[in-house]
């Protein structure tokens, strides 16, 4: 919570033009900070890539692949964190509600008459009974973090999808009640926050494909590579497993049928996404060009879209 407060204070120095841009900036900062603190650090500390010095704090861990012991040590930590994340983000709502209820009770002298107050000015009374401002960036950053964690490790730990669904379900009802009973009416935000969130989720799907491929291509999950290696004359299963853990030998992972099929599906997904983006961009460009040729208003600034004589007429009417 302290880090989020600091990030919100930092955003004030950016001098954003409107409230939506401020919320977007805060959301991205909080999301990246939460993801690094909760998952990325845990992942790189326990990862072993084989060529870093022992004194280096990162990439010198005990696991060079998603083996069974990794799921017991690191995966269990992620599961516990996701389980607690279903409830812990809402403690702030209950804390704010309790503080607000206490202030209102003291203002009334702990009596049940809602018209009784010690405030001398109307603005002080309204400030007390309007409730605190709903911090939309807190909720968006939490939701993005849960989505990224679930998609990153959900292939190897499918229960993360259930935890993410429970998180969204609980968040929906808690926020719905809190917006009606605790917080004041939030301002109207633009659509840019939703668009930025959708772009982040698209990145999460790409990361999901990468992590899922790495988990499924482990020879301890599907033994296609192990059988091929034994058939080629390798006699030691331990040697096969040790060799298959090498994170740089992509060709051995792609040598498995299911890994190759998964990589092909990933390539088709990327190709379809690129084609869809190009087609939508082309259609928007043509629609904008057609609108300009027909004299339609395409600017967000009303006065900039007026012709010169119309603008003069508007100025004369206002004088």
| Cα four-point dihedral sign 31, 33, 34, 40 | positive
Is the pLDDT reported for residue 167 higher than 90?
A: yes
Is the pLDDT reported for residue 168 higher than 90?
A: yes
Contacts 24+ apart (CB under 8 A), 104-107: 104/128, 104/129
pLDDT of residue 236: 44
* Residue 286: its H or E element: helix 257-293
Nearest residue to 32 (alpha-carbon basis) of 144, 154, 135, 137: 144
* pLDDT band, residue 266 (cuts 50/70/90): confident
Is the distance from CB of 122 to CB of 203 less than 8 angstroms? no
* pLDDT band, residue 163 (cuts 50/70/90): very high
pLDDT of residue 25: 85
- Provide Rg for the chain, Cα atoms: 27
Is the pLDDT reported for residue 157 higher than 50?
A: yes
Is the distance from CB of 38 to CB of 145 less than 8 angstroms? yes
Q: Stretch 313-318: mean pLDDT, rounded?
A: 61
Residues near 25 by beta carbon (within 8 Å), at least 6 away in sequence: 11, 14, 16
pLDDT of residue 160: 93
What is the percent of the chain where pLDDT is above 90? 10
Is the pLDDT reported for residue 145 higher than 50?
A: yes
* Digit-coded pLDDT (tens) for 67-78: 888 888 888 999
Nearest residue to 193 (alpha-carbon basis) of 74, 20, 1: 20
* pLDDT band, residue 231 (cuts 50/70/90): very low
* Digit-coded pLDDT (tens) for 88-125: 888 877 777 788 888 888 888 888 777 788 888 888 88
Supply the mean pLDDT for the chain: 77
3-state secondary structure of 47: strand
pLDDT of residue 107: 84
pLDDT of residue 238: 47
What is the percent of the chain where pLDDT is above 70? 72
Q: Stretch 81-88: mean pLDDT, rounded?
A: 88
Q: Stretch 153-166: mean pLDDT, rounded?
A: 92
Q: Stretch 255-272: mean pLDDT, rounded?
A: 81
Residues near 163 by beta carbon (within 8 Å), at least 6 away in sequence: 79, 82, 83, 85, 86, 146, 150
CA 73 to chain centre: 24
Look at 104-108, 139-143, 202-206, 306-310 and tell me which has the smallest mean pLDDT: 306-310
Question: What distance in Å separates the CA atoms of residue 43 and residue 197, rounded to the nearest whole number?
Answer: 24
Contacts 24+ apart (CB under 8 A), 1-6: 1/92, 3/30, 3/33, 3/37, 4/30, 4/33, 4/138, 4/141
Please tell me the pTM assigned to this model: 0.73
Residue whose tokens read 């989720």: 201
* pLDDT band, residue 44 (cuts 50/70/90): confident
Residue 120 has which token pair? 């001398």
Is the pLDDT reported for residue 255 higher than 80?
A: no
* pLDDT band, residue 230 (cuts 50/70/90): very low
Question: What distance in Å separates the CA atoms of residue 45 and residue 61, rounded to the nearest whole number?
Answer: 6
Look at 281-285, 293-297, 303-307 and tell me which has the smallest mean pLDDT: 293-297
């Amino acid at each position: 919570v302290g880090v989020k407060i600091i990030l919100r204070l930092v955003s004030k120095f950016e001098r954003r033009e409107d409230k939506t841009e401020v919320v977007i900036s805060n959301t991205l900062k909080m999301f990246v900070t939460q993801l690094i603190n909760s998952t990325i650090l845990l992942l790189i500390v326990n990862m072993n890539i084989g060529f870093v010095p022992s004194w280096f704090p990162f990439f010198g861990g005990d696991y060079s692949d998603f083996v069974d012991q990794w799921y017991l040590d690191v995966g269990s930590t992620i599961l516990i964190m996701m389980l607690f994340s279903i409830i812990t983000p809402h403690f702030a709502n209950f804390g704010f509600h309790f503080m607000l209820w206490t202030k209102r009770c003291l203002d009334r002298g702990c009596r049940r008459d809602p018209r009784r107050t010690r405030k001398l000015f109307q603005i002080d009374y309204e400030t007390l009974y309007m409730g605190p401002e709903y911090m939309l960036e807190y909720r968006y950053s939490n939701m993005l973090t849960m989505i990224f964690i679930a998609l990153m490790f959900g292939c190897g730990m499918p229960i993360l999808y259930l935890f993410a669904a429970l998180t969204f379900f609980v968040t929906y009802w808690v926020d719905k009640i809190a917006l009606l009973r605790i917080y004041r009416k939030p301002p109207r935000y633009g659509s840019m926050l939703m668009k930025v969130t959708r772009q982040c989720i698209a990145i999460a799907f790409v990361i999901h494909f990468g992590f899922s491929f790495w988990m499924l291509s482990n020879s301890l999950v599907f033994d296609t590579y192990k059988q091929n290696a034994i058939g080629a004359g390798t006699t030691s299963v331990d040697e096969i497993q040790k060799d298959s853990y090498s994170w740089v030998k992509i060709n051995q992972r792609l040598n498995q049928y299911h890994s190759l099929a998964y990589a092909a599906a990933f390539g088709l997904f990327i190709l379809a996404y690129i084609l869809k983006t190009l087609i939508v961009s082309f259609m928007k460009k043509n629609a904008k060009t057609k609108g300009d040729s027909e004299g339609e208003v395409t600017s967000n600034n009303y006065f900039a879209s007026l012709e010169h004589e119309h603008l003069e007429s508007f100025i004369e009417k206002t004088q």
